A and B are shown apart, each in its own frame.
Chain A
Amino acid sequence: MRDLTKQKWKDPGIVMVVLLSLISLVVWIWWPADVFIGGLSLAGWLMFFCFFIWLILTITYVIWMERIEKKRID
């Protein structure tokens, strides 16, 4: 049973959720609302850049899961 609990924490989905939460936490704790770059608040820029980070996390997850499945078939 302990193995299964350990396995759950190593699940690619959970790893990605932890990463996503940590990255968003940085944005929400820092929240540089009064710093402006090109007229847009830095907090806005950070949220914008995260669009692409979310995309990278998703691509990583899809590739990771397909590799796991391939390994199992092999």
Chain B
Amino acid sequence: MQIMEAVILAIYLLIMTGIGIFFAKRAHSSEGDYWTAGGRINSFVGSFAFFAAVASSSSLMGAVGSGVALGVPFLLAYGFGAVAIPSFAMFLISGQIRRAGVKTLPEFFKNRYGKSVQITAAILVVLSMTFYMIPQLTASGLIGSYVLGIDYVTAVIILGLGFTLYAALGGMWAITYTDLLQGAVMVIGMFILAILILMDHGGVGALFQDALSVDPQFGSITQPWMSYFGLFIAFLWFGVVSPSAVMRNFAARDAKTARRSALGACILYVTVFIFGFVIASAGASLGIADTLENQDMIFISVIEHYMPALLAGVMLAGLLAAIMSSADAMLLAVSAGIAHDIYKEHINKNASEKTVTRLGLIVMLLASVVGIIFAVDPPQLIAVMVGWVSGAMLSAFGFPLVLGLWWKRTNTAGALAGMIGGTVAFVIMALLPSALVSEHLISAPISALLTIVVSLMTAPPADAVQKEVDRYHANIDA
């Protein structure tokens, strides 16, 4: 057991839980507060919140792990798409979806296409976000087992349940405000680690040469073109199709704040990937990647090698924080999907807010238990698992959402065909042997084609719906 690291981690988690409890009262005062923090978050908090919710454990441990395991261009391809996450979502959907005035992604689908699409979307959100818990739990298990000196499985269970308790306590208020702290710890921690590494090796050039001398393939393209392109597309679209990222958008006070938050998140992303490049180079120079049981552990090894115990503790807390904020945003999306979009909308319309919030709590617990079961034996590198989830969500929601916002001829049949057809195509592609993270390069175009062709072959949407789509593009602040 690493005593210093464990003590810092414990203090950190206590502070986070304190914040969760502090905001719990506020969160439970109304449903709007619980799901989207009452739409009152400012741009500074919003930047960190957006960044911390999207920059999951994968952006840190996963990108570094994949950069060392598959060569640093893999990390750069990850960043190539990921740095554009907040911007691409803002360019393509943010203003329109805010004007639509909905709280969740399935709620948009209901207003635009009706019940059938909403229920399908809610089910797919729940499935994809539950699967997305697996890489988060894998990363937290690796950190927990290292710091506490317990076995990986026990760490996954303890931390997984801890996250749920915390997310359940405060909803989006707690998550957004702790994200400010978590985002800051992540960025500052990575900055300090990068400086320590560069001082140790004598600059970027020397560090990179040290990495190349240990692993001559470190700077090379080691995978098929499709894998890099697939990774880029999966992450580029992540902010558009990820329900947790979309919900962040609703938490901003107004359109101007939402845009500035996205810009802030983009700056944070650039910074983190530059530091990530340095950390991955240091990881490769250690020459221990092949000896690790799980190559995603390399980030932890770099922290331990270059940082004194006190700083290492803070850094590991930052990492765990990143995971916690992403996992919490996902749990909230799962819980909103069932409690808000299915139960309240279709099963019990008269349900009190208290009942809906409580149901959300039970759903969160179930989702994390499912996540824990799968995370016990993770199927791939963290970066690859996140790429899968993002690719699956793109294949399911990407085109029904974007076309629904931009093309008023898109109708219910088209959206359903695109959603179901894209998901089925993704599952088939995942079962066939293909290059890493390239499944959605086939399934997403199939979804787009189905959405367009089926919409054109069937009756156009009602006039009221078409007028509503025009309103998304009217020059009004929202």
The answer to whether A binds B is yes
User: Would you list which residues of chain B between 399 and 424 have a CB under 8 Å from chain A?
Assistant: 406
Q: Which residues of B contact A72 (CB under 8 A)?
A: 475
Knowing A40-B208, A69-B477, the reply to whether A54 touches B73 (Cβ < 8 A) is no
A28 x B263 contact (CB < 8 A): no
Q: Which residues of B contact A38 (CB under 8 A)?
A: 205, 208, 219
Q: Does A26 contact B (CB under 8 A)?
A: no
A24 x B90 contact (CB < 8 A): no
Interface of B is mostly: helix
| Shortest Cβ gap from B431 to chain A (Å) | 26
B221 x A55 contact (CB < 8 A): no
Query: Per a CB cutoff under 8 Å, which of A16, A54, A69 touches B83?
Result: A54
B79 x A47 contact (CB < 8 A): yes
Q: Does A22 contact B (CB under 8 A)?
A: no
| Shortest Cβ gap from B408 to chain A (Å) | 9
Kindly report which residue of chain A lies nearest to residue B266, judged by CB atoms: A58
B84 x A33 contact (CB < 8 A): no
Q: A41-B221, A55-B83 are in contact. List 14 more A-B contacts (CB 8 A).
A: A4-B470, A8-B473, A16-B87, A17-B92, A33-B220, A41-B219, A44-B73, A48-B76, A50-B80, A51-B79, A51-B83, A54-B83, A55-B266, A69-B477
Contacts between chains A and B (CB distance < 8 A), count = 113
A44 x B260 contact (CB < 8 A): no
Q: Give the top 3 A-B pairs by smallest Cβ distance, nearest first.
A: A40-B219, A44-B73, A13-B91
Q: Which residues of A contact B306 (CB under 8 A)?
A: none
Knowing A8-B406, A47-B73, A72-B475, the reply to whether A24 touches B80 (Cβ < 8 A) is yes
Q: Which residues of B contact A33 (CB under 8 A)?
A: 220-221, 225
Kindly report which residue of chain A lies nearest to residue B267, judged by CB atoms: A55
Knowing A20-B91, A61-B90, the reply to whether A31 touches B225 (Cβ < 8 A) is yes
Q: Does B86 contact A (CB under 8 A)?
A: yes
